């Protein structure tokens, strides 16, 4: 395996980690206004992700930084090409992050409802747009010989990509609802489970539809074959199983299943891309690949050493932080947010 | 307006805004960590209340720094794609390392620190805030390694029109970094010191919570006096380095059109950039040579000579930054710096005499002085970045060639207006909250509550 492939895998892992972790906190943010009408319960919901959302978001920053370092051509084309969607994601993430911190620091109900909206919209917009973006990677977008994206904003909102957006949106809502069943108790946990049960069929339906559509909209058929193998099938099966576990109130297993769904469906996208990183719709030889966008072998070597040392360290202490805050948030918990 | 100048404006707006919050984070994280160390060592409640009070303000400020920082990382690709393609091989590395080493550390442990008061031992909780402080200051190191490459590029060759890294050590140990990093971090410490002194004075003048605020003031005055003194020393070395590696920036900062030996220091210059001269020019002989070389002579090159030299070296073009901006930002930064030095010395003098702070004359001036570090920080970065123009990577790539080729003016205008509006709303909310909590003072001492029974999912 060459270093380009290693870095492709590493960046895939960073994005997957980001979606597994921030995925549920997006879901929690979207569900918050629906699951709780009173202030106390809203605060409890926000406090379930309070210690974690910021650390989760760093997975995105690291994925972005790693893309810049390892594949500057990919970073440049993607970020300049998807300029307006990224701008919307940034605005959403800005409002959302500040909202967590600011919301409960003032009693005024209008202040709180403003930031509640910010948490809701700031979670919804990226949850939708990330799915749109990744669907476009595999579907292909107009990229010219200079590696520049030459389509417009509306190009990105094609039906296949919008379906991808629905997949990520509903998937994250489901993932977040199940997370809430694990981190709250009593009536609130029941409401979250009920929400999960209601969202689940839609989430499964769009994932199946998206997978089917992928056979027409992308070259997944030639890449992965008519039988796409265990990873994509596993994604769909895990999501199907999640429903069963929700019904049985086996919330822990349900959460494992939605996490597997996120991991496997993202892995499918990266597998069908490789060795490309963005497919060009203007010609197969114009696609961006791990070779025509990469940094020098020297840089990749340096970065590999850094990553090998520090990624495990990060995993250990971030894992520890989840252990520290493993308890459910109850009505008696002292709330920081 | 074209995409280049709009993108420049957007970069300036978002960066200056981001850097309103960062310096306070750098310094206040350390101050709060020191306070908590005192708490853990002495077990004294007053230190715990200090930690809680300043910690609350720290968190409010920190959030703004984090969210505006995401924009910083994204906009290199969004607005400056050709720059990213040119330097990605060498510039992306410190950015990725910054995220991996610093962002994870500060974000994860800040979450642990905020939510972990009851869940961790005192020592583990103390370790968390120190890790936040280390993480924040590490992130400053790596982003300044990246910035220093733009100012004084090292550790690379240019191959096929791309800068390719060939010496990671040279990048990290770029002499420019090891002046810029202490200067920036110590400026952050100074910012936090003046922040703490200003708010403490507000309460001391009202004779409220004197236990908390006289301790805070004392601590901050020592921290601030040491920091600003070092900032000035390092700044002096930086100026001397600038004469070597970016002579044009120094010439512009001094509005020095003709080379001079010995070189005079400008007291006041009215600049006519188009005419290449100063309409009014009051100078002190030899002082610029003294500042540049620590002796009374030595040539400092002038703008017009450098322009001629660069045209010969890099081809036709205009290689002079905005002299007005370089000149005045330099003076605002240095002026504010010295003012802070005198104020910190004044504060330290009274603290050393161990008199009750309520009796100190002109204590109220420290309230106003909270603005000084912000002024100096902003002016300093404007000088650093605008003084480098027209280059984005000094001597290798011009800003005009760095912009994303697919950007339209409309796109940049959309995001520029969007960011500006959102940032304005957030600034209002942030200042409102900071003022509210700063004025409210520390929360009353709470009696120990019964531990709450909580269970994990599997229990």
DSSP class per residue in B180-227:
HHHHHHHHHHHHHHHHHHHHHHHHHHTT-SHHHHHHHHHHHHHHHHHH
Q: Report the distance separating Cα A143 and Cα B308, nearest Å.
A: 41
Query: Which of the residues A94, A149, A317 would you substitute to probe the B interface, choosing the one with the greatest number of B C-beta atoms within 10 Å?
Result: A94
Band (pLDDT 50/70/90 cuts) for residue A331 is confident
Domain contains B126 = yes
Residue B447 predicted with pLDDT over 70: no
Residue B172 predicted with pLDDT over 70: yes
Q: Is A148 in Cβ contact with B406 (below 8 Å)? A: yes
Domain contains B310 = no
User: Is the CB of A256 inside 8 Å of chain B's CB atoms?
Assistant: no
Q: Which pLDDT score, from 0 to 100, does residue B445 have?
A: 74
Residue among A54, A183, A295 minimizing CB distance to B66: A54
Residue A305 predicted with pLDDT over 70: yes
Residue among B430, B437, B454 minimizing CB distance to A328: B454
Domain contains A240 = no
Residue B68 phi, psi dihedral angles, 5° rounding: -75, -20
The model's pLDDT over B421-436, given as tens digits with 9 standing for 90+, comes to: 999 999 999 999 999 9
Domain contains B435 = yes
The CA distances from residue B448 to A336, B118, B130, B440, B451, in Å, are 17, 11, 25, 22, 9
Q: Is A64 in Cβ contact with B99 (below 8 Å)? A: yes
User: Is the CB of A110 inside 8 Å of chain B's CB atoms?
Assistant: no
* Number of other CB atoms surrounding residue B115 within 10 Å: 22
Instruction: Please say whether the beta carbons of A207 and A265 come within 8 A.
Output: yes
Q: Which residues contact A336 (CB under 8 A, 6 or more apart)?
A: A47, A50, B114, B115
The model's pLDDT over B398-415, given as tens digits with 9 standing for 90+, comes to: 999 999 999 999 999 999
Band (pLDDT 50/70/90 cuts) for residue B459 is confident
CA angle B27/B77/B391 to nearest 5° reads: 75
Report the percent of chain A where pLDDT is more than 70: 100
Locus of tokens 């009173």: A38
Q: Which residues of B touch A324 (CB under 8 A)?
A: 112, 116, 119-120
Q: Is A149 in Cβ contact with B406 (below 8 Å)? A: yes
Q: Is B108 in Cβ contact with A80 (below 8 Å)? A: no
Q: Is B455 in Cβ contact with A93 (below 8 Å)? A: no
Q: Which residues contact B90 (CB under 8 A, 6 or more apart)?
A: A299, B149, B155, B156, B163, B164, B165, B171
The model's pLDDT over A191-226, given as tens digits with 9 standing for 90+, comes to: 999 999 999 999 999 999 999 999 888 888 788 788
Residue A265 predicted with pLDDT over 80: yes
Residue B448 predicted with pLDDT over 90: no
Cα-only R_g, chain B? 24
DSSP class per residue in A210-271:
HHHHHHHHSSHHHHH-SS--HHHHHHHHHHHHHHHHHHTT-HHHHHHHHHHHHHHHHHHHHH
Taking each helix axis from N to C terminus, what angle separates B45-79 and B409-440, rounded to the nearest 10 degrees? 180
SS3 A143: strand
Q: Which residues contact A154 (CB under 8 A, 6 or more apart)?
A: none
Q: How many domains does chain B have?
A: 1
Q: Is B457 in Cβ contact with A251 (below 8 Å)? A: yes
Taking each helix axis from N to C terminus, what angle separates B104-115 and A53-70, rounded to the nearest 10 degrees? 180
Q: Is A307 in Cβ contact with B426 (below 8 Å)? A: no
Query: Which of the residues A58, A95, A310, A311 would you substitute to probe the B interface, choosing the one with the greatest number of B C-beta atoms within 10 Å?
Result: A58
The model's pLDDT over A1-52, given as tens digits with 9 standing for 90+, comes to: 899 999 999 999 999 999 999 999 999 999 999 999 999 999 999 999 999 9
Q: Which pLDDT score, from 0 to 100, does residue B323 have?
A: 97
Residue among A47, A61, A80 minimizing CB distance to B77: A80
SS3 B164: strand
Q: Is A68 in Cβ contact with B91 (below 8 Å)? A: yes
Among residues B40, B46, B59, B63, the alpha carbon closest in space to that of B114 is found at B59
User: Is the CB of A87 inside 8 Å of chain B's CB atoms?
Assistant: yes
Among residues B57, B27, B225, B287, the alpha carbon closest in space to that of B136 is found at B27
Locus of tokens 């090998």: A308
Q: Is B79 in Cβ contact with A80 (below 8 Å)? A: yes
* Number of other CB atoms surrounding residue B13 within 10 Å: 14
* C-alpha distance from B161 to closest chain A C-alpha (Å): 13
Locus of tokens 């309070």: A50
Q: Is A79 in Cβ contact with B92 (below 8 Å)? A: no
CA nearest B125 in A: which residue? A324
Q: Is A68 in Cβ contact with B84 (below 8 Å)? A: yes
Q: Report the distance separating Cα A336 and Cα B435, nearest Å.
A: 19
Q: Report the distance separating Cα A191 and Cα A313, nearest Å.
A: 37
Q: Which pLDDT score, from 0 to 100, does residue A169 have?
A: 98
How far separated are the first and last CA of chain A, in Å rounded? 46
Distinct helix (H) and strand (E) counts, chain A: 12, 2
For residue A291, the enclosing domain spans 3-177+272-324
Residue A67 predicted with pLDDT over 90: yes
Q: Report the distance separating Cα B69 and Cα B14, nearest Å.
A: 9
Among residues B427, B115, B64, B433, the alpha carbon closest in space to that of A106 is found at B433
Q: Which pLDDT score, from 0 to 100, does residue B449 have?
A: 64
Q: Can the peptide bond before residue B240 be classed as cis, meaning omega within 30 degrees of 0?
A: no
Residue among B84, B109, B116 minimizing CB distance to A76: B84
Cross-strand partners of A289: A276
- For B434, the enclosing helix (H) or strand (E) is helix B409-440
- As given in the structure block, the two tokens for residue B348 are 């330290």
Cα B280 from chain centroid?
Answer: 32
- For B163, the enclosing helix (H) or strand (E) is strand B162-165
Domain contains B51 = yes
Task: Pick left, alpha or beta for residue A29 (phi over 0 → left; psi -120 to 50 → alpha; otherwise beta).
Answer: alpha
Q: Can the peptide bond before residue B262 be classed as cis, meaning omega within 30 degrees of 0?
A: yes
- As given in the structure block, the two tokens for residue B451 are 């531990």
Q: How many domains does chain A have?
A: 1
Domain contains B130 = yes
Instruction: Please say whether the beta carbons of B316 and B264 come within 8 A.
Output: no
User: Is the CB of A316 inside 8 Å of chain B's CB atoms?
Assistant: no
Q: Which residues of A touch B89 (CB under 8 A)?
A: 72, 295-296, 299
Q: Is B108 in Cβ contact with A55 (below 8 Å)? A: yes
CA nearest A150 in B: which residue? B406
Question: How does DSSP classify residue B356?
Answer: -
Domain contains B306 = no
Question: How does DSSP classify residue B283?
Answer: E
Domain contains A59 = yes
The model's pLDDT over B217-265, given as tens digits with 9 standing for 90+, comes to: 999 999 999 999 999 999 999 999 999 999 999 999 999 999 999 999 9
The model's pLDDT over B341-371, given as tens digits with 9 standing for 90+, comes to: 999 999 999 988 877 777 778 888 999 999 9
For residue B77, the enclosing domain spans 3-246+321-440
User: Is the CB of A250 inside 8 Å of chain B's CB atoms?
Assistant: no
Cross-strand partners of B281: B269
- Would you say the C-alpha torsion A185, A188, A194, A198 has a positive or negative sign? negative
Domain contains A333 = no
Residue A68 predicted with pLDDT over 80: yes
Q: Which residues of A touch B168 (CB under 8 A)?
A: 298, 302
Q: Report the distance separating Cα A276 and Cα A261, nearest Å.
A: 23
Pairing of strands B162-165, B265-272: unpaired
Q: Which residues of A touch B426 (CB under 8 A)?
A: 94, 98
Provide the residue count of chain B: 459
The CA distances from residue A68 to B88, B138, B425, in Å, are 6, 19, 31
Instruction: Please say whether the beta carbons of A319 and B109 come within 8 A.
Output: no
Instruction: Please say whether the beta carbons of B142 and B95 come within 8 A.
Output: yes
CA angle A274/A280/A285 to nearest 5° reads: 75
The model's pLDDT over B106-139, given as tens digits with 9 standing for 90+, comes to: 999 999 999 999 999 999 999 999 999 999 999 9
Locus of tokens 């209008």: A110
CA angle A65/A67/A73 to nearest 5° reads: 125
Mean pLDDT of A261-269: 95
Residue B402 phi, psi dihedral angles, 5° rounding: -95, -15
Q: Report the distance separating Cα B199 and Cα B441, nearest Å.
A: 9
- Would you say the C-alpha torsion B94, B95, B98, B101 has a positive or negative sign? negative
* C-alpha distance from A97 to closest chain B C-alpha (Å): 6
Q: Report the distance separating Cα B145 and Cα B122, nearest Å.
A: 35
The CA distances from residue B24 to B63, B104, B167, in Å, are 12, 19, 33
Residue among A66, A148, A298 minimizing CB distance to B96: A66
Instruction: Please say whether the beta carbons of A137 and A121 come within 8 A.
Output: no
* C-alpha distance from A43 to closest chain B C-alpha (Å): 14
Q: Report the distance separating Cα B252 and Cα B326, nearest Å.
A: 6
The CA distances from residue B52 to A152, B35, B219, B431, B451, in Å, are 50, 10, 16, 19, 19
SS3 A141: strand
């Amino acid at each position: 395996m060459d270093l380009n492939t290693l870095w492709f895998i590493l960046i895939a892992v960073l994005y997957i980690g980001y979606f597994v972790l921030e995925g549920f906190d997006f879901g929690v943010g979207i569900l918050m206004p629906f699951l709780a009408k009173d202030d106390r319960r809203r605060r409890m919901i926000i406090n379930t992700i309070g210690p974690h959302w910021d650390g989760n978001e760093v997975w995105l920053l690291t994925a972005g930084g790693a893309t810049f370092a390892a594949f500057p051509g990919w970073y440049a084309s993607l970020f300049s090409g998807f300029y307006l969607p990224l701008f919307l994601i940034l605005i959403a993430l800005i409002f959302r992050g500040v909202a967590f911190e600011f919301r409960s620091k003032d009693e005024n109900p209008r202040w709180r409802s403003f930031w509640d909206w910010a948490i809701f919209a700031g979670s919804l917009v990226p949850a939708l747009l990330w799915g749109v973006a990744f669907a476009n990677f595999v579907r292909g977008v107009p990229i010219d010989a200079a590696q520049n994206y030459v389509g417009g904003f509306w190009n990105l909102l094609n039906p296949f990509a919008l379906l991808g957006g629905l997949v990520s949106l509903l998937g994250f809502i489901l993932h977040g609802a199940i997370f809430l069943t694990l981190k709250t108790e009593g009536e609130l946990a029941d409401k979250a489970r009920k929400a999960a049960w209601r969202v689940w069929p839609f989430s499964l339906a769009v994932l199946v539809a998206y997978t089917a559509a992928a056979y027409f909209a992308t070259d997944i058929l030639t890449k992965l074959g008519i039988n796409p193998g265990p990873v994509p099938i596993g994604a769909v099966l895990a999501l199907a199983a999640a429903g069963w576990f929700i019904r049985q109130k086996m919330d822990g297993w349900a959460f494992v299943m939605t996490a597997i769904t996120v991991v496997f469906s993202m892995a499918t996208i990266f597998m069908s891309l490789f060795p490309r990183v963005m497919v060009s719709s203007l010609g197969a030889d114009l696609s961006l690949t791990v070779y025509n966008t990469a940094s020098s072998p020297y840089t990749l070597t340096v970065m590999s050493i850094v990553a090998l040392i520090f990624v495990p360290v990060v995993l250990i202490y971030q894992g520890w932080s989840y252990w520290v805050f493993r308890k459910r948030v109850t009505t008696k918990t002292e709330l920081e947010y | 307006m074209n995409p280049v100048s709009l993108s420049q404006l957007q970069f300036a707006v978002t960066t200056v805004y981001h850097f309103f919050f960062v310096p306070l984070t750098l310094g206040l994280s350390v101050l709060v960590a020191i306070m908590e160390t005192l708490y853990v060592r002495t077990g004294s409640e007053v230190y715990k209340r200090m930690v809680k009070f300043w910690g609350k303000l720290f968190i409010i400020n920190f959030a703004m720094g984090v969210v505006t920082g995401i924009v910083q990382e994204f906009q290199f690709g969004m607005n400056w794609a050709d720059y990213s393609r040119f330097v990605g091989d060498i510039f992306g590395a410190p950015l990725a390392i910054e995220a991996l080493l610093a962002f994870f550390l500060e974000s994860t442990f800040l979450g642990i620190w905020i939510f972990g008061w009851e869940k961790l031992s005192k020592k583990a909780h103390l370790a968390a805030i120190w890790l936040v402080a280390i993480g924040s200051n590490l992130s400053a190191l790596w982003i300044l390694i990246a910035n220093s490459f733009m100012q004084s590029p090292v550790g690379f060759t240019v191959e096929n029109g791309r800068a390719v890294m060939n010496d990671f050590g040279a990048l990290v140990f770029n002499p420019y970094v090891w002046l810029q990093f202490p200067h920036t971090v110590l400026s952050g410490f100074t910012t936090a010191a003046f922040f703490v002194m200003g708010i403490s004075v507000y309460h001391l003048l009202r004779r409220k919570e004197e236990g908390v605020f006289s301790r805070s003031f004392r601590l901050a005055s020592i921290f601030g006096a040491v920091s600003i003194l070092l900032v000035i020393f390092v700044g002096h070395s930086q100026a001397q380095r600038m004469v070597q590696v970016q002579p044009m920036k120094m010439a512009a900062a001094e509005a020095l059109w003709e080379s001079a030996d010995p070189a005079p220091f400008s007291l006041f210059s009215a600049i006519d950039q188009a005419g290449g001269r100063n309409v009014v020019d009051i100078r002190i002989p030899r002082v610029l040579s003294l500042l540049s070389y620590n002796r009374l002579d030595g040539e400092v090159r002038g703008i017009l000579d450098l322009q001629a030299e660069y045209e010969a070296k890099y081809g036709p073009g205009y290689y002079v930054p905005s002299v007005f901006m370089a000149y005045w930002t330099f003076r605002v930064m240095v002026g504010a710096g010295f003012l802070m030095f005198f104020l910190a010395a004044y504060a330290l003098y009274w603290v050393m005499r161990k008199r009750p702070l309520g009796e100190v004359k002109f204590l109220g001036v420290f309230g106003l002085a909270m603005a000084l570090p912000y002024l100096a920080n902003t002016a300093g970065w404007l000088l650093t970045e605008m003084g480098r123009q027209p280059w984005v990577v000094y001597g290798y790539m011009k800003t005009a060639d760095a912009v994303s080729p697919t950007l339209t003016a409309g796109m940049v205008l959309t995001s520029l207006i969007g960011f500006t509006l959102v940032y304005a709303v957030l600034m209002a909310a942030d200042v409102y909250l900071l003022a509210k909590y700063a004025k409210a003072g520390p929360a009353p001492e709470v009696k120990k509550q019964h531990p709450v029974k909580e269970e994990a999912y599997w229990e």
